[in-house]
Amino acid sequence: MSGSLLVYGDVALTYDFGPDHPLTPRRFQPAIDLLRTLGATDFMAPRMASDEEIARLHTPAYIDVVRRFGADPWHHVQSNGIGPGDCPPFDGMHEASAHVAGGSVGAVDRILAGDVEHAFNPAGGLHHAMAARASGFCIYNDVALAVARARDAGHRVMYVDLDVHHGDGTQALFWDDPDVLTLSIHETGLTLFPGSGFADERGGPAALGTKVNVPLQPGSGDGSWLAALQATAPALAAAFAPTFLVSQHGCDSHAYDPLAHLRLTTRAYRAATLLLDEIAHDHCGGRWLATGGGGYDAYRVVPRSWSLVWLAQQHREPPAQIDPGWRERWAADSDRFGQSPLPTDFLDPADLVKPEADEIAEANAKTVENALPGALELIGGTNK
């Protein structure tokens, strides 16, 4: 059994909402290039998920809508969340989205078969898509389909969402399933899309306590973000006893990211991936699928964030400095798109951002204190 599988093929570049859209396929080439400089060689090209596989969570009527938009993008009235705005239609929308889904589902299959312990699908993590609606740059919810694949194989699945935006689609799709625990740590919905993810969202009647949300204050940094993750994830894993871990590693919480208001550094991302690896081995027999997600600084942040996920799954330390050849290859592009200079170090300097204000740290600590005990008590009830 090999350690970690990296899911990627150039078909990822076809998931493309257009040149002015924040979720740009430009992020793939510098990121995959950086992974290759680190020694990544075990790649699996994503396959296209079948309609039947997608219909495990999405309605057949919605799949038909996506297919029609992809065949003729501009001759349909806005429908099911597809249209001007976050999810504009594009040629081949169904096929591109189905490949993202197939990448995550296929990675779970490889883990279930015992071929690998860990897998990482950087193109995945499209966590906002609902059963019959696109949302937040997400057409099909690949990461939820991956959870369902593991769930259908008899596993208790723990899903950890680290994106700056609440993982609302994945939460909704498993709202009343007691065998899927979702933990989302994100900027509060009072100040950021999708306007949900509050502590009182705890799951349906059959699954109370298995949907856990930690909404953080704008301006939160490494300190209280990491404290929230460290306080919740290990305790929830111990109470829930998962046998399969799925995670979403949106890096739009970084201080450089243009779309949100958290102020994290790659130091926090490194610590988070190590913690998740520990949960995978302590509770899940090593079974862990990681996915990408949001991240809109395609040169300074996304490549390092994705590399840190892969390095954690490989049980390797990140190098102190980034390969100079990589920096040279991508310097012009990063400058052209206003995301320069490229960093020299994998881990951001400790003083990249100012320390959090005391009132932010205190508010976040209170959020964790209010959310965790109730969730643990309710989860204990679902396990009886």
Span 45-79, pLDDT tens digits:
999 999 999 999 999 999 999 999 999 998 778 99
Query: Domain locations in the chain?
Result: 2-382
pTM over 0.75: yes
pLDDT, one tens digit per residue, over 97-108 is 999 999 999 999
Q: Nearest-CA neighbor of 72 among 94, 90, 86?
A: 90
103 alpha-carbon distance from chain centroid: 14
Residues with Cβ within 8 Å of 384's Cβ and at least 6 positions away in sequence, in order, are: none
| C-alpha to C-alpha distance for 66 and 132, rounded to whole angstroms | 10
pLDDT, one tens digit per residue, over 103-155 is 999 999 999 999 999 999 999 999 999 999 999 999 999 999 999 999 999 99
Q: Which residues are catalytic?
A: 128
| Residues β-bridged to residue 118 | 4, 288
| C-alpha to C-alpha distance for 286 and 88, rounded to whole angstroms | 38
pLDDT, one tens digit per residue, over 202-237 is 999 999 999 999 999 999 999 999 999 999 999 999
pLDDT higher than 70, residue 381 = no
pLDDT, one tens digit per residue, over 164-210 is 999 999 999 999 999 999 999 999 999 999 999 999 999 999 999 99
How is domain 2-382 classified at the architecture level of CATH? 3-Layer(aba) Sandwich (3.40)
pLDDT on residue 320 = 97
Binning pLDDT at 50, 70 and 90, where does residue 159 land? very high
pLDDT, one tens digit per residue, over 286-343 is 999 999 999 999 999 999 999 999 999 999 999 999 999 999 999 999 999 999 999 9
| C-alpha to C-alpha distance for 55 and 12, rounded to whole angstroms | 21
End-to-end CA distance of the chain: 35
| C-alpha to C-alpha distance for 245 and 191, rounded to whole angstroms | 29
| C-alpha to C-alpha distance for 232 and 246, rounded to whole angstroms | 16
